[in-house]
A = this chain, B = another copy of it.
């Protein structure tokens, strides 16, 4: 399978060698087996380092900041980086140019998007005052949505994702959904939920943290209103790299941000007392962009050159199918249960296994250089990142899991 992998060459573009392994915890003080390298299956949490990033970042720091200093805002293209990097992400989420801007955290972008979406929904139909959120959302989305609801006079209603479409009613202003559930890896129905919301007069905000770079996302084609996502998972931008915000073309002039910082002004250097928002993607900016992280991300995105998302998706599904087969073969029956849907159409790019003592099991896996992560109370998460995960990696991971559990 690795020999037939059309993305196999991409693996060499990442740093995948490891640091010395952790000292094994007392309970598992057995010498770990020799493996060719750590098997890193946590790219759904923090993507691996693309090889060209350290060199580029060194240049940014020593030449652009160190020697050019303030001149770099224009000469090194710092000022326009949020839109430029946004345009690099755009094709990965099915967006045309000028619709994606990079900056701030996902949480802050959820706030911008939800408040702005409520404002648009209420302009169109003043009585709408309900905000729906999928009940199993990544927590920050729910917390931020609650704050947005409080500040805009709305009520927040959590609804299990499969029931969301039916729950959209005449009072619904906005629906906020995670495209892929961070815990189970379940892929939610973006086209259907968006269409139903629009039929019923509501707006949608999609959180793409666990889908951007993992599978095709067709934001323009499905007329999504707003979307946000992080860049440090499948996009490999580095720890805490700035997030992105997508605004639908038709809503661009109606996007009324609750965080209208000076970077989103039509003429930021006029330093005017009155706020006039910029026309394009820059309207989603707030304060001065975080240049070191932003330019590291820009360099990291070059690994996507020439990559087709259909190939990424095909490999992702093949990897998760194969991993589940290996788990069935190597792990004693009844010891783990997949929380990730079997149907391809409902699967993101991770596999989550329920397992008794999952916290200790993950510690033992990491001590044996198989790196996934543990989520409360009983979940083992394994991220499958098609640009650098091999079929041999997942077979090895399943084999070690079987040994640990046994």
Contact = CB atoms under 8 A, between A and B. Distances in A.
A67 B15 contact: yes
Nearest to A297: B292
Given A135-B273, A151-B151, A241 B290 contact: yes
A249 interface: no
Interface centre among A241, A261, A265, A270 (most CB of B within 10 A): A261
A63 interface: yes
B70 A15 contact: no
Interface string A368-390: 00010101100000000000000
A289 B240 contact: yes
B105 A287 contact: yes
Contacts of A259: 107-108, 111, 144, 147
B105 A232 contact: no
Interface in A132-176: 135, 138-140, 142-144, 146-147, 151-152, 158
A309 B33 CA distance: 56
Interface centre among A63, A107, A158, A289 (most CB of B within 10 A): A107
Contact of A65 (B49, B140, B260, B292): B49
A65 B288 CA distance: 25
A107 B57 contact: no
Interface in A249-273: 257-263, 265, 268-273
A291 interface: yes
A143 B373 contact: no
A48 interface: yes
Given A140-B261, A242-B290, A287-B140, A70 B58 contact: no
Contacts of A46: 65, 69-70, 73
Contacts of A262: 107, 138-140, 143
Interface string A278-307: 000000001111111110100000000000
A4 interface: no
Interface residues of A, number: 87
A259 B67 CA distance: 37
Interface in A58-74: 58, 61-73
Given A261-B140, A288-B230, A288-B240, A61 B67 contact: no
A42 interface: yes
Interface string A96-128: 000000001111100100010000000000000
Contacts of A115: 151
Copies per assembly: 2
Contact of A273 (B54, B158, B263): B158
Nearest to A262: B140
B139 A273 contact: yes
A1 to B, nearest CB: 25
A239 interface: yes
Given A260-B144, A293-B292, A373 B70 contact: yes
A234 interface: no
Contact of A287 (B108, B263, B265, B294): B108
B294 A240 contact: yes
A91 B152 CA distance: 38
Interface stretch (A16-24, A322-330, A343-351, A395-403): A16-24
A365 interface: no
Interface of A: 15, 17-19, 22, 40, 42, 45-46, 48-49, 53-54, 57-58, 61-73, 78, 104-108, 111, 115, 135, 138-140, 142-144, 146-147, 151-152, 158, 183, 230, 232, 238-243, 257-263, 265, 268-273, 275, 286-294, 296, 366, 371, 373, 375-376
24 contacts: A22-B71, A40-B69, A46-B65, A49-B62, A49-B66, A54-B61, A58-B58, A61-B238, A61-B296, A69-B371, A78-B239, A105-B261, A105-B288, A107-B261, A108-B108, A139-B271, A139-B275, A146-B260, A146-B275, A147-B260, A230-B288, A240-B290, A240-B291, A290-B290
